[in-house]
Every structure is written in structure tokens, then in C-alpha cells.
Amino acid sequence: MALTDETPVTARSTDPLGTVIPSTVPTHWYNLAADLPEPVPPHLHPGTREPLGPEDLAPLFPAALIAQEVSTERYVEIPQTVREIYALWRPSPLIRAARLERAIGTQARIYYKYEGVSPVGSHKPNTAVAQAYYNAVEGITRLTTETGAGQWGASLSMACALLGLTCEVWQVRASYDAKPYRRFQMETYGSVCHPSPSDLTEAGRAILAEHPDTTGSLGMAISEAVEAAVKDPGAHYSLGSVLNHVMLHQSVIGQEVLVQLADAGERQADTVFGCAGGGSNLAGLTFPLIGQNLRDGTTTRVVACEPAACPSLTQGEYRYDHGDVAGLTPLLKMHTLGKDFVPPSIHAGGLRYHGMAPMVSHAVNLGLMEAVAVDQDTAFAAGVEFARAEGIIPAPESTHAVAAALAHARSVTEPEVVVIGLSGNGVLDLPAYSSYV
């Protein structure tokens, strides 16, 4: 039937609404690959060990994300629909921590970039919305994923609800048991959440047969989510960290920081601290600043702050490894503790990953970024100190960046600008604080 002026047109969830978007919401994502002095080593096929082609990734990802995974373009335009959703909370605030400065008696001017203002309380929707959008445009109806602390699972659940998809999440058993409110959050958005390892997949059953009492790991949960996606032609897999396209989407954080620092009258950030697990928050905060260092000669020092219990950057090997326990994923050149490494059940569940994003690993290897390991007691003590000075309870993951930043700020002898990536709030993680108050 030919369309006429009277023919109703069914609106799709991926269509822009036409809402007003503030000019301060970024229009493009920034890609550090365009400015790196050496290219990031390619992902390899697990069977042939040859560089992956688009056809190798097609069973898991939509074409647009595959293109972004290998792109070397400096800027990638953000779709209007994605920007409309971003505008629900972006730009996130860059806040001067004046009370914290007074409390510790530092000469540093401390700012924190607060991603906890998103609907789910973390930075994760920056890529969840983009991934759900591109999958929906391609006609995919279901996404599968893993989650540690639950921030990523909640974010993808929200994105799928907004864009008309269903979502199935495998959550690391230790976090599933310790953080029930995260599961309730996912279910409120309409998703299904399983503890991992589970008996729903071959990978999960094999792990349980060998380790029936395991607390789980992100590597295990990834295996289950990938397996479930591959078996369903209407499904794709979605990853909340590690991959290049995730780093790309998160770059809205650092791009906003550059503008906000200038608005505050600062020439540059002198030292930036971000927590490091899989690498997405850290990359989003720092890659635009590293790009500015490479292009414009600024001298911002970037520090990745990882948990001492899962120290991939400070103690892992820089080599090719699988991103999951079962070996279903491509081989990634990254700092890794080994795919079979099962970290302790630390409270910062979002940082319990055996590897690190290839782009972050490459940046560390090139000397563009440093790394430190922070123990759990030190991290939570810093989180409590921050909360009592600034009023915001940081997510357990973010406390690692806070701890390293406080130690540095106490040691400075001249004024400088310190930026902390506060990747999320700890409102749903309060039981983790119980031993530290």
C-alpha cells in the first residue's frame, strides 16, 4: 500500500523525539586511536590467531559497533536519539571539592567528575544506550550480557527498556548474593538476571562441575552471556567495558571535563585519577585528556587506580589472552592475570576482572598512563572521608581513585589541579561500607 498523508506512521523506539538537547551535550565521541603514536594491536581469532574480520564479530555485534571497534577516525558522530537520552543527565557535573580540600589541608585544587547523576547511578549508560540503539536499528530484539557489581547490568537493562529490546543478564555470584538491590533494579527495567555460573549454559555447567562453590568471576559470566547470544539468531551480546567501541562511547566524560575545566578558569588538569577494572570509566575520563597531551603538548598525568586484589595493570602480563574463562571470545592484547584467575570477593565487584581494556593496556605500555594498586581498607577509608566532606557516598569502585587522589593531594607542595573520576554513587552498595563506619 502506498503511503498517503492520511496513512499513520508507527513511531519506532529508535526514532528521535525532537526534544531540545543542551548544547553542552557532546555531539561526537572521541577516538584516541586517531592520536596514538602506535596503533593498538588487533584482536585475533581464537582459532586461527589471525586478525579478526567483520564477519568474525557479526554473530555478536551490529555492523555499526564492529566498524567503531576498528575505526581510527578521531571523531564519530553521536546519533540524535542517543543524544536525546544522554540529555536526561548529561553533561554530568564537574564539582570543586572545596570542603575536601579544607579537610585535608592541601594546596591542590581538587575537582571530581560525578557520573552518579545518571538514572542508574554510574557512567555505564554512556555506552549502554549507544549499544542498545545500534542493535535495535539492526533489528535485534534481545541482548545478553554479564555484570559484576550490577551497574552495567542495570544500565543495559535501562537502555533496552528505553529502546524496545529485552535483556538477559548473568551476574557474578558474589555480587548477586551481596547486592540484591541491583537485581531488583534490573528486573524493574524488565530484564532477567541470573547468578553466574549458572546451570543454564554449557559453560556454566562445566564450571560448576569443577568448582561447585565458586564465587564466580566476570570471565565466567562473559562465557555464559556469549554462549546464550550465539545460540539465538535474534540476540546479540553486549559488553560494558574492555572493547574499543566501549572506550569510544565513554569519551563523553573526558570531553566534558576539558570544557568544564576551561570554564572554571583552569589551563589543564595536572593529575587525573580514575578507577580501573575493565577500563571503561578510566578511558572515558582520560582518553580525551591524553589526546590533548599528544596533540597540543599539555602535560596531564593520568593514574589508573586498580584493586590490589585484582591487579592486572601492576602485576599482570601484557600479552594476548581471552576475555572469558571458556575461551569463546577473541584474543585481546592486554594486561592480564590469566583468564582462569578468580579474584577474591572484594566489595568493588565492578573491578573484579582478570584483564584490562586493550586500549588502556596499550596506553600504559606506551607510557601515556601510570597505574597503582589500592587495597580495599584504604579505598573504603577514603570513601568514608570523601562522603563526610562532600556528602556523596562513592561507589566502592570509585573509592580506589579517591584514595590515590587523597594520598597525592596530601603530598603536593605547590598548587596544582587534581581531577578524580567519581564513576558512580554507592547508594545501592551501602552494606559494603558497614565494616568501615
Domain spans of the chain, in order of start: 84-122+244-436, 124-237
- The reply to whether domains 84-122+244-436 and 124-237 share a CATH topology is yes
Cis check: omega of the bond before 288, within 30 degrees of 0: no
Place of cell 569502585: 397
* CATH architecture under which domain 124-237 falls: 3-Layer(aba) Sandwich (3.40)
Rg of the Cα atoms in the chain: 21
Distance from C-alpha of 424 to C-alpha of 437, rounded to nearest angstrom? 20
Question: Which residues of the chain register pLDDT less than 70?
Answer: 1-10, 346, 349
Distance from C-alpha of 194 to C-alpha of 147, rounded to nearest angstrom? 10
Res 10: pLDDT: 62
Q: Do the Cβ atoms of 135 and 62 come closer than 8 Å?
A: yes
Cα distance between the two ends of the chain: 68
CATH number belonging to the domain at 84-122+244-436, selected among 3.30.1310.10, 3.30.460.10, 3.50.50.60, 3.40.50.1100: 3.40.50.1100
CB atoms near residue 314 (< 10 Å):
15
Cβ-count burial 10-41 (b if 16+ within 10 Å, e if not): eeeebeeeeeebeeebbeebbbbbebbeeebb
Distance from C-alpha of 227 to C-alpha of 364, rounded to nearest angstrom? 31
φ/ψ (deg, to 5) at 360: -65, -45
Res 203: pLDDT: 93
Distance from C-alpha of 323 to C-alpha of 328, rounded to nearest angstrom? 8
Q: Sheet harboring 301-307: ordered strands across? A: 94-96, 109-114, 417-422, 271-275, 301-307, 370-374
Res 190: pLDDT: 97
C-alpha atoms less than 13 angstroms from C-alpha of 357 in its C-beta half-sphere: 29
Distance from C-alpha of 331 to C-alpha of 42, rounded to nearest angstrom? 9
Res 1: pLDDT: 39
Q: Are strands 271-275 and 417-422 parallel, antiparallel or unpaired?
A: parallel
Res 8: pLDDT: 53
Q: Which residues pair with 30 in a beta bridge?
A: 75
Res 3: pLDDT: 47
Angle between helices 180-188 and 151-163 (to 10 degrees): 10
CA distances from 346 to 94, 155, 279 (A): 28, 21, 18
CA distances from 419 to 188, 404, 406 (A): 34, 11, 11
Distance from C-alpha of 334 to C-alpha of 210, rounded to nearest angstrom? 27
What are the cell numbers at 36?
596514538
137-193 tens-digit pLDDT: 999 999 999 998 899 999 999 999 999 999 999 999 988 998 899 999 999 999 999
Q: Do the Cβ atoms of 62 and 140 come closer than 8 Å?
A: yes
Q: Do the Cβ atoms of 153 and 120 come closer than 8 Å?
A: no
- Give 74's contacts (C-beta < 8 A, 6+ positions apart): 30, 31, 34, 35, 291
Q: Which residues pair with 306 in a beta bridge?
A: 373
- DSSP letters along 63-77, please? HHHHHHHH---SEEE
Res 116: pLDDT: 98
Res 5: pLDDT: 52
Q: Do the Cβ atoms of 349 and 148 come closer than 8 Å?
A: yes
Query: Tell me, what amino acid is at 321?
Result: D
- Give 348's contacts (C-beta < 8 A, 6+ positions apart): 149, 275, 277, 307, 376, 379, 395, 396, 397, 399, 400, 432
Distance from C-alpha of 85 to C-alpha of 2, rounded to nearest angstrom? 33
Residue from 73, 24, 44, 121 nearest 248 by CA: 73
